Amino acid sequence: MNTDSAPLTRHQLRRRPDHGMIAGVAAGLAEYLDVDAVAVRLAFVFLALVGGIAVPLYLAGWLLVPAEGSSSSIAEDVFHQWV
């Protein structure tokens, strides 16, 4: 039984363009997972070299994950322009 009185905070996945090398996907994922951004970037490089899956994953993150300080993602913004 957990008797801690500290409230649980819920983290949201956000891109960190100000801390990123390209679009902040790896930096945002690293912050969300509470790991070093270099480890996430190395994982993306490894996945890109081994099977190439990192490129579509990164692009999906860029389009679907909102930037820090934004309430919607790029894909949501484009969708709302068409609808």
What is the structure's pLDDT at 1? 52
Place of tokens 């993150």: 61
What is the structure's pLDDT at 60? 94
With 0-12 CB in 10 A as exposed, 13-18 as middle and 19+ as buried, what is 76?
middle
Which parts of the chain sit beneath pLDDT 70? 1-10
